[in-house]
Chains A and B, each alone.
Chain A
């Protein structure tokens, strides 16, 4: 068991999902793996949280979904970013940058 905290930072899961989908449409597992890979294993996505978040983002109109036939004749739900989702991502990115640089400044000053 890994002892370090690998939970996604509170409130950032939505942004991470939107960012991941801005590259290409993907299914749920793909999104989870991509977040883990890009963060080099720092974050690990809980499937329960992921599916709930996907449902919420879809309802908010930031994601679209469709069922696609996969190569081994199963159905997979594939999510893609909508136009408003793209805007939301820009907004959240800007917001995140603003906040994290503020925190970074605070930490530097304190150190």
Chain B
């Protein structure tokens, strides 16, 4: 009741201040009349009575102010008055206001945009009910970690008691065929516990059960909400329907009709495979035949810890289980690089974000620097403004405004400025987020969660307030310290000194911050240059590639599959403009990653896992991979002939040092450790090729023809070398393959050059952002120098005039001003270099082939910064040199 009354009465006063004042005046008047009447009644003359009554009431103004000062609305009212005044101040000085708002808006906007990208990836927990309990499990071997195989999964899931659910998964690209061009879906084959490990359930239908994930089990599929809406228009009767899918990754599926058993909820975010739209059971063979795919290290394992079990406890349990299990299944593990020593357990969140974390944190650091520079710049502008307004503050102080009141007024002004900047900043951020998402490198996790949401707005509001207080504080303290007496007398030259000192130190810090950003951008640029000068081991120019995914069941046996690839290759070769063409089982720099064990006759009991390539004869010619020794593979290396193997230079060097590897014998992959299988013979050594990335050094590999490998791979990449722009040949190559079989999905069409560029997408992304920020920083620092110098010159007009009158030449005045400005720059560069020693630590992980304080980069950056600041000094210096002593002195 009372609160309500407070609120309504207060609002009434606020909305109708004159009415309230009027009522108060009327009440006072009434009081006066009554007092007069009553005094008259006691015998005074009307004149005396009126005077006595006035005396009793005292100063009506004071009474009114006392009554008016009561109530919350009064505080609001003065705040509004301050705001109105601040608004008028900004309007009167539109140039200043617009500059400051633009600078702050860009700073706040950039920071908010970066924050909105980083927040879901690094800071928010994953969108699952128990995100902190979901872990990834890897096999540990030779101190590193590798993907588990199905044997490991079987061994762990049967024996471990640490988990609520544990599952393995692999990518799956089924195609919907028959109508028009075959459409390929992204999906996953998962063991039954997959969704339970994440803690999610289908919104419609049911989850996978153990009965679904049986060897040769039923063909069932769960759809994503998006696919359900896109292909089946959200049909509520979808459960139980049959859909036709060609399953390209499992050779054992004999059926292509799947029963839909569930639909995932629309909010389900599958961080392990963001583009997956359907899921089917893995259905691997639990009998684990020794040289089967069940032993291939190609599965990812995810698990949900029991609430009472820690990651460490789970790890030590699995560390005990796995080696023991490995010893009882030694044959299976031997075909794939040996028994694991234990496991590596990481949280799902770390696993998903580890790759991008250094880059994102560095970018966050960079944007904070930009925001700092922007704030410093606006502080400087405000300082210059308050120097001009010293007279105004003095008048207000003389009229009785307390220091606090002035401080409050100034802070209100800077908060208003920051608030307007913040609004502009949110607009900038909304746009910036779109640009960020468009620029984001492939593989950036949780891209769909990047948006300007409540948290982001709250963040923007927070930094806006902080900045409003921050940029207002220094000028406010300076202004409130001013002696009004001195300021009124305009004899305040001693003040200028101290106040210029603050502004100059601010400029120095701006230059220092800009140097750190420029240096970081420069180092990233040099790294990228270095990376692209790394020899990938092949000639990427004018090579077109695409991957053909032959479904496992389509051809009966390897012969038919081999025939298909042979015929496709023939067709492709006959396209005009194609110099040579070949198939390869894994394409360099494409994200393919396939390693198999190799065993050397000369070094028994030393198992290695190296890259395995099954290539058709022309592969080396097409990719221009050089032959170092011996011969290349050719048509003679066919089924039945002695198996011929090429090894890479680095493998040859490590294994055989200076000895000739030609003629040495090896066993590879499933044949490893099996004396009943024949040896293969090394016939040649070829150059090293970068498989994973330009920065990675792993290049140990072996090559065989598809005919001499244990099976024919069903997903192979065709590579063609052309004598024209490779992009123009895409459709003819595709048609040539489809003319052999029109139902085969063709994916990952790319030129080798674009794949090369893509491998460094993350570095490039960081570089673009750093470059943009560095340019902004450079501009802001330059405007800072310019503003301080020209402000200083305006205040020192008289001194310069005197100097000129006393015979100083234009040249000497020019030098004077430039020296002053360059001193600031040099100081800033010095401090910035010191800061860079610490700051470049943050980007160390992204550097390649340059040291953190690369002298060439440092020199370049300092020259650039020096040049720009010289320019920024030059303009005010030139203006100072043109000062006409007669005019300035007369103006005094």
Q: How many A-B residue pairs have CB under 8 A?
A: 68
**Nearest A-chain residue to B8, judged by Cβ:** A59
Which of B59-67, B293-301, B772-780 lies on the face that meets chain A? B59-67
When the two chains form their complex, are residues A51 and B28 in contact, meaning their CB atoms are under 8 A apart? yes
What is the 8 Å Cβ interface bit string for chain B, positions 9-33, against chain A (1 contact, 0 not)?
1000000000000011011111101
The verdict on B5 contacting chain A, using a C-beta distance below 8 Å, is: yes
When the two chains form their complex, are residues B30 and A52 in contact, meaning their CB atoms are under 8 A apart? no
The verdict on A111 contacting chain B, using a C-beta distance below 8 Å, is: no
Bound together, the chains give a CA A27 to CA B23 distance in angstroms of 13
Bound together, the chains give a CA A76 to CA B5 distance in angstroms of 22
**Nearest B-chain residue to A72, judged by Cβ:** B33
When the two chains form their complex, are residues A47 and B31 in contact, meaning their CB atoms are under 8 A apart? yes
When the two chains form their complex, are residues A75 and B30 in contact, meaning their CB atoms are under 8 A apart? yes
Least Cβ–Cβ distance between A93 and chain B, in angstroms = 20
The verdict on A12 contacting chain B, using a C-beta distance below 8 Å, is: no
Contact among B26, B31, B35, B70 for A56, CB-based, below 8 A: B70
When the two chains form their complex, are residues A77 and B30 in contact, meaning their CB atoms are under 8 A apart? yes
Q: A56-B70, A77-B23 are in contact. Are A61 and B30 (CB under 8 A)?
A: no
When the two chains form their complex, are residues B5 and A61 in contact, meaning their CB atoms are under 8 A apart? yes
The verdict on A40 contacting chain B, using a C-beta distance below 8 Å, is: no
When the two chains form their complex, are residues A75 and B26 in contact, meaning their CB atoms are under 8 A apart? yes
When the two chains form their complex, are residues B67 and A48 in contact, meaning their CB atoms are under 8 A apart? yes
Q: Which of B788-819 contact A (CB under 8 A)?
A: none
Chain B interface mostly helix, strand, loop or mixed?
Answer: helix
When the two chains form their complex, are residues B5 and A47 in contact, meaning their CB atoms are under 8 A apart? no
Q: A48-B58, A59-B6, A61-B1 are in contact. Are A27 and B63 (CB under 8 A)?
A: no
Give every chain A residue within 8 A of B31 (Cβ-Cβ).
27-29, 32, 47, 51
Bound together, the chains give a CA A60 to CA B29 distance in angstroms of 25
Give every chain B residue within 8 A of A58 (Cβ-Cβ).
5, 9
Contact among B2, B9, B34 for A27, CB-based, below 8 A: B34
Contact among A48, A76, A84 for B66, CB-based, below 8 A: A48
The verdict on B663 contacting chain A, using a C-beta distance below 8 Å, is: no
Give every chain A residue within 8 A of B27 (Cβ-Cβ).
28, 51, 76-77
When the two chains form their complex, are residues A59 and B35 in contact, meaning their CB atoms are under 8 A apart? no
Instruction: Tell me the count of chain A residues lying within 8 A, CB to CB, of chain B.
Output: 24
Q: A29-B30, A29-B34, A77-B23 are in contact. Are A55 and B2 (CB under 8 A)?
A: no
The verdict on A99 contacting chain B, using a C-beta distance below 8 Å, is: no
The verdict on A74 contacting chain B, using a C-beta distance below 8 Å, is: yes
Bound together, the chains give a CA A77 to CA B5 distance in angstroms of 18
When the two chains form their complex, are residues A47 and B70 in contact, meaning their CB atoms are under 8 A apart? no
Bound together, the chains give a CA A58 to CA B2 distance in angstroms of 9
Give every chain B residue within 8 A of A75 (Cβ-Cβ).
26, 30
Bound together, the chains give a CA A43 to CA B24 distance in angstroms of 24
Give every chain A residue within 8 A of B63 (Cβ-Cβ).
47-48, 51
The verdict on A87 contacting chain B, using a C-beta distance below 8 Å, is: no
Bound together, the chains give a CA A63 to CA B28 distance in angstroms of 18
Q: A47-B63, A59-B9 are in contact. Are A74 and B56 (CB under 8 A)?
A: no
When the two chains form their complex, are residues A30 and B34 in contact, meaning their CB atoms are under 8 A apart? yes
What is the 8 Å Cβ interface bit string for chain B, positions 52-86, against chain A (1 contact, 0 not)?
00001110001100110011000000000000000
Give every chain A residue within 8 A of B71 (Cβ-Cβ).
55, 59
Q: Which of A23-82 contact B (CB under 8 A)?
A: 27-30, 32-33, 46-49, 51-52, 55-56, 58-61, 70, 74-77
Q: A47-B57, A48-B67, A55-B70 are in contact. Are A84 and B30 (CB under 8 A)?
A: no
Give every chain A residue within 8 A of B244 (Cβ-Cβ).
none
**Nearest B-chain residue to A29, judged by Cβ:** B34
Least Cβ–Cβ distance between B495 and chain A, in angstroms = 41
Least Cβ–Cβ distance between B41 and chain A, in angstroms = 11
Give every chain B residue within 8 A of A29 (Cβ-Cβ).
30-31, 34-35, 38
**Nearest B-chain residue to A51, judged by Cβ:** B67
Least Cβ–Cβ distance between B29 and chain A, in angstroms = 8
Q: A61-B5, A77-B23, A84-B1 are in contact. Are A47 and B30 (CB under 8 A)?
A: no
When the two chains form their complex, are residues A76 and B1 in contact, meaning their CB atoms are under 8 A apart? no
Give every chain B residue within 8 A of A30 (Cβ-Cβ).
34
Give every chain B residue within 8 A of A55 (Cβ-Cβ).
67, 70-71
Among B24, B31, B63, which residue has the most Cβ atoms of chain A within 10 A?
B31
Contact among B5, B28, B38, B67 for A33, CB-based, below 8 A: B38
Bound together, the chains give a CA A66 to CA B57 distance in angstroms of 22
Least Cβ–Cβ distance between A12 and chain B, in angstroms = 19
15 new A-B pairs (CB below 8 Å) besides A32-B31, A49-B66, A51-B28? Answer: A29-B35, A30-B34, A33-B38, A47-B31, A48-B67, A51-B24, A51-B27, A51-B63, A52-B70, A58-B9, A61-B5, A74-B29, A75-B30, A76-B30, A84-B2
Chain A positions within 8 Å of B, measured between CB atoms, are: 27-30, 32-33, 46-49, 51-52, 55-56, 58-61, 70, 74-77, 84
Closest 4 CB pairs of A and B: A29-B34, A48-B63, A61-B2, A29-B31
Interchain Cβ contacts under 8 Å between A and B, 16 examples: A27-B30, A28-B31, A29-B35, A47-B31, A48-B57, A48-B58, A48-B62, A48-B63, A51-B27, A51-B63, A56-B70, A58-B5, A61-B1, A61-B5, A70-B30, A77-B26
